[in-house]
Structure 1
Amino acid sequence: MSFSPLGLSPALLTAVQRRGYLQPTAIQSQAVPLILQGRDVVAAAPTGSGKTAAFALPLLQRLAARQPSRPRRLAALVLVPTRELALQVDATLAELGDGLPAAPKRVVAIGGVSINPQLMVLRGGADIIVATPGRLLDLVAHNAVSLGRVEMLVLDEADRLLDLGFGEELQRLLALLPPQRQTLLFSATFPAEVEQLAASLLRDPARAGDAGEQLVAAIRERALVTDTTQRTALLRHLLQENDWNQVLVFVASRHGADNLVQKLGKAGIDARALHGDLGQGRRNRSLQEFRDGTVRVLVATDVAARGIDIPQLPVVVNYDLPRSPADYTHRIGRTGRAGQPGLAISLVSADCETHMRLIEKRRGQRIPREQAAGFEPQVTAPAKPAAPATAADSNGGIKGRRPSRKDRLRAAAAAAAAAAAGEGGPAKDD
């Protein structure tokens, strides 16, 4: 199937061809016609599925059909959870909208950089704003932008927008929007909170995509069992023994990212860190060097699990396991994009084996354990978690005298998180 039957304008069809799209992905073929019809849409869009173009193309077409106004009136708002994703969405809008007779004015509103340039560029208004919630609220407080006449709202990566720290800001922004609008909700995972948000915001929404589809089949997953103290040496071994041109390594904390980059550097492996403590300019440089191939290894916290699109990225390594199955999905989804082959490796030590099993259970998939020669584990996983400290806690708070299996899994997961904290603290998002 080509893009022609989707109802796009000749200018956008040309833009699609120029970008090298030969045929629409499943989410594009389903979502684009629905959005062009003016329907509210709930879209299940796994990583690497082409979901940004799925909303960018109809958004641009709808804006191109509007009568121009001076000053420009904000008509479309795209809310995203991270700065990197905001820049990626804006780049896609720029490329696809370049050939339009009157390209819409775009503004990226993100934190980590001075607000003054954003205030200046908004003096003449804007057609589209791509924003993280916190910075958009800052701009509203400065009276730089009004949301009262927004016609199209896109919630991109809605599951991450509802993470701790985003929910309250999101609700404040939604209260400023007009009730009559088109709302598009895109998410790779659909926990109960996302379903509740969709039910409260969207009017008779159409469904696109498959909420059960998490990852493309092209991703091969491996779990290498080793001791915590051997993980860095094993990672160095993997980098030296394999002809990987780019490797994205996920760690649990900002301190852990800097520490691992330093250790890799001492071994002669050029690496860069990407985390929330870095200024936006440095984050941009790290990403660009990784994309260019100047730097082979990017060591990132989960800030990079959303918004990084590296074509044909061959390998993702979970140096530290993620906090949740959803984060695992988004991490390894950085490879194997658009049907390309990819490899995801998790380093599993004894103290996080129970947490790995919990991730596997939630995803309904078991990954066979492997060992690398010379890095076999010397520490074995405990048969069961340590007993509670007090008698009051001995029943896990519920279900009689002995902790249930679910309570024991929770306790083991907490112990694994505490062990990870010893290497730099729990995972933190930007």
Structure 2
Amino acid sequence: MGAEDLNLMENEGACRGREGKGRRLWKKVKYQLVEYHSLPGYLRDNEYILGHYRSEWPLKQVLLSMFTIHNETLNVWTHLVGFFIFLALTIYTAMKIPKVVDLNSLQHFPDIMKPDLQKLQSELLTCLPSVPDLHRLREEISSWHIKEHLYNCLPVRFSSSNHTDVCVLHSVKDDLANIIAPLMIRPITRWPFFAFLGGAMFCLLASSICHLLSCHSERMAYIMLRLDYAGIAALISTSFYPPVYYSFMCYPFFCNLYLGFITVLGIATILVSLLPVFQNPEFRTIRASLFFGMGLSGAAPILHKLFLFWGQPEVFHTTGYEILMGVLYGIGALVYATRIPERWMPGKFDIAGHSHQLFHILVVAGAYVHYRAGLVYLRWRDLQGC
């Protein structure tokens, strides 16, 4: 091999080395975070967040970016953690929330039964030794059998006096048997509660995925944002299901009316959100107002519930939860629409503390408050039925 060949090989090696370094340098520069003015139009949404943007990265780098620091990191994780919280709550609810009523909770029965509650409980537990393990009754005894058994073993005296009005006792015993037996055998349906939990998980997961993937391309951003809007509409719509169903389960007309209205409104909101113009920054306030209006429509069934069941503690308890949930959602929508606090100090909240992150935290908090209200609804209807 001559000197010329050696020189040629050395030159080729040097070129390949420079090319390799160039590719590595270009790759490093290409996946750097950029400032707002460098973004393509479809990624420009909040002019008060000035830097730390990802722009048109390959899908692999986009997925890995969930473990790096940028202005969407906390947007991704606030709702991803929220998703796992509600997944755990769903599993807990399915496994641990009692499917039947414990006789130790009979203090929630109508006032006519309270004067001799202790006597009633002790005699029931005496004549039905299997009552403490009520879930086994559903598998072993038919509803008619247990009703007849309950009727025969109910106490024959419900007052401290020495005489008994047979007609009154017969009526009370029959009422008790008809109330207690169905509760042990057929608990109130749970589907509205699990519909809400499913809507919450869909919303939180869709939002997290949207914030992670939207920077990949304009097409991806379009799809992800529509998924995000659908998730918000699903959360709001399904949030109505437990309060409406359990409040009006004894009034089928109003139950179907309210459920149908919010379902149609949710579908209409999703369809409107599919319009490309809906994503323009100037429609930010309109977007927030549309979803806020969906939530505000829940005032009608709440007021109706208060009118029908005024005086029952469960009604005031659930209404308090629902007001707190509405306040949290409302503050979140207001913060989102006004871009507080970053509008006061542009660039200071790029990584943490900007309006969208606060909005996410308030949404998770509001959904959890609604979960607590749902537990009250289940207990109320399990105990009282219609």
| Bin of the TM-score, shorter chain as denominator length | under 0.3
User: Greater CA radius of gyration, 1 or 2?
Assistant: 2
**TM-score when scaled to structure 2?**
0.21
**TM-score when scaled to structure 1?**
0.20
Select the structure that is richer in helix.
2
Higher relative contact order (CA 8 A, sep 6+): 2
Select the structure that is richer in strand.
1
